[in-house]
Amino acid sequence: MGRLDGKTAVITGGASGMGAATVRRFIAEGAAVWIADLQVEKGEALAAELGVDCHFVETNVGIEADVEAVIAAAVSATGRLDCMFNNAGFGGVGGPIDETDMGPAYQQTVDGLLTGPVLGMKHATVQMKAQASGSIISTASVAGLRGGMGPHVYSALKAAVIGLTQSVAVELAEFHIRVNAICPGGIMTPIFLGGQELKAGSNTTLEDALRPVFSTIQPIPRAGEGADIAAMALFLASDDSTFVTGQAMVVDGGLTVGRRRITAPEESPMRQALADLVDEDSE
C-alpha cells in the first residue's frame, strides 16, 4: 500500500533537484505523475526510468497554455488531479539592488517564480473543485521569510508565493482543497550551478562538492537533500494532511531559528572580548 495509491500529481520543475526527488518518491508511493519542465532530455529520461505511471510534458510554467496543457494531459488520462506541485524555479536576476536588470531577465524571473504558481493554482482548481478534494503545493523558500538568503527579486517573489498560498487557501478551503507552501533551506541541487553544466569526465559529483558547505550552514549538521523536500511534499499530498492549509512549511534543518555554535564556549569571541574586563574572583 502506497500513501498516494490512486492519486494523480503534476510536478513542475520535476526534471531536476527536489522536484525530481519528489517525482521518485510519489511514484514509489503509488501515484501517477506528470513532470512539467523546460528540460526535455532530463525529464524524458526520468519518466522512462520510472515506468508507465510517470510522464513528461515540456512546459514553461510562465506560459498559460503550457500549464493548462500538462494539467489537461494528467486529467484526461486518469480523470483526476490530486496534487499540483508548483516547484519550478531558478535564481533569476541578481546583484545589488541599484544594478537590478529590469529587462527581459526581470520579466522571466517574475514569470517563472510567481506567474508559474498562479497559473498552477488557477488551472488545478477546476478539476479539484469538481472532485471536491486536492492538494496544491508551491515551493517558496526561506528567502521569502528572511533577508540575506537569496537575490532580492527572488526573495520578494518567494514571499509573494507565501502570500498567494495564504490567500488562495482561504478561498479554496470550502471545496476541501488545501493550499500550502514549502520553504526549503539550503538543499544540494543543480540550482546553484546557475544554468552551467558540470565538466565532463569529473569524478566529483555536485553533492560531493556541495556537501561540506551545506553541512555547516544550519544547526542540523548535515546537508539538506532533495529527499527532505520530497518527504514534506508527500505529507502535504497525502491524506495525512487533510486539515492543513495555508501554511508555509519550513524544511531547513533549523537555519531560520538559530545559529549553530561552531566555536567551543571558551573560544567564543564574546568571552575573549570580556576576558580582560571581568574580575574572575567575583564569581
Ligand X SMILES: NC(=O)c1ccc[n+]([C@@H]2O[C@H](COP(=O)([O-])OP(=O)(O)OC[C@H]3O[C@@H](n4cnc5c(N)ncnc54)[C@H](O)[C@@H]3O)[C@@H](O)[C@H]2O)c1
CA distances from 46 to 28, 34, 184, 222 (A): 13, 11, 23, 27
Cβ–Cβ under 8 Å, residues 41 and 62: no
Distance CA 259, CA 80 (A): 44
CA distances from 243 to 77, 130, 139, 223 (A): 28, 19, 19, 30
**From 62, 120, 134, 253, residue interacting with ligand X (rule: CB under 6 A):** 62
Query: Which residues are catalytic, by number?
Result: 154
Distance CA 271, CA 252 (A): 29
Residue ranges in 86-125 that form contacts with ligand X under rule CB under 6 A: 87-90, 112
Distance CA 250, CA 230 (A): 13
Question: At its nearest, how many Å lie between ligand X and the CB of residue 158?
Answer: 7
165 touches ligand X by CB under 6 A? no
Question: At its nearest, how many Å lie between ligand X and the CB of residue 229?
Answer: 7
155 touches ligand X by CB under 6 A? no
Look up cell 508527500; give the residue.
234
59 touches ligand X by CB under 6 A? yes
Select from 31-39, 95-103, 122-130, 237-245 the region that touches ligand X (CB under 6 A): 31-39
Select from 12-20, 26-34, 48-56, 273-281 the region that touches ligand X (CB under 6 A): 12-20
Distance CA 264, CA 277 (A): 20
Indicate the SS3 state at residue 264.
Answer: coil
Cβ–Cβ under 8 Å, residues 4 and 238: yes
Closer by beta carbon to ligand X, 39 or else 125: 39
Question: At its nearest, how many Å lie between ligand X and the CB of residue 232?
Answer: 12
Closer by beta carbon to ligand X, 19 or else 134: 19
Question: At its nearest, how many Å lie between ligand X and the CB of residue 268?
Answer: 29
191 touches ligand X by CB under 6 A? yes
Binding site for ligand X (CB under 6 A): 12-13, 15-19, 37-39, 59-62, 87-90, 112, 139, 141, 184, 186-187, 189-191
